[in-house]
Amino acid sequence: MNIFFDLAKQKNIGIIVRVPLASGLLSGKYNSETTFAANDHRTFNRNGEAFDKGETFSGIDYQKGLEAVRILKDYFQDTNLALLAIKWVLMFDAVSCVIPGASNPSQVQSNLKSADIQTISEKDMAFIKSVYEQYIKADVHQVW
């Protein structure tokens, strides 16, 4: 990722990050009992049946993603994970903007609060990276 970001900066190309909340997975509001409507891509596209599976939960198995989110929620107990995810993306100076998506005006207002979060500490970044390494990397890193 850093090579891509460095090259984009060298060439003065902006990076727009979309779906930073992994189709809502990083909102922390879903669990193993959650069901989605039949016409929701989180139901019909979990394995890429309709389009690139990276569009649904960022290509991560739903149950594995839930486990990673649970660990993040335990660590960042009093932090809104959605805002933390947006802040994390915006900490990369090569990123021009982020498109988190929203279903209603209150989610848009909430997403804007990510600007108020202080820079994520090196310790917290290391923890996030360890969760990525353990739960996510093997499933998605090779497609970058």
The per-residue pLDDT for 51 is 87
Residue 70 vs residues 21, 53, 75, 81, 89: alpha-carbon distances, Å? 14, 22, 9, 10, 20
6 in a structural domain: no
The per-residue pLDDT for 54 is 79
| Domain count within the chain | 1
Q: How far apart are CA 45 and CA 57, in angstroms?
A: 10
Q: Going by C-beta distance under 8 Å and a sequence separation of 6 or more, which residues neighbour residue 54?
A: 48, 140, 143
The per-residue pLDDT for 144 is 64
In 10 A of CB 56, how many CB atoms? 26
pTM for this predicted structure: 0.85
Sign of the torsion formed by the C-alpha atoms of 96, 99, 104 and 109: negative
Domain harbouring 20, CATH code: 3.20.20.100
126 in a structural domain: yes
96 in a structural domain: yes
What are the residue ranges in the chain where pLDDT is below 50? none
10 in a structural domain: no
The per-residue pLDDT for 85 is 93
54 in a structural domain: yes
Residue 131 lies in domain? 16-143
11 in a structural domain: no
List pLDDT tens digits, range 88-117: 999 998 999 999 988 899 999 999 999 898
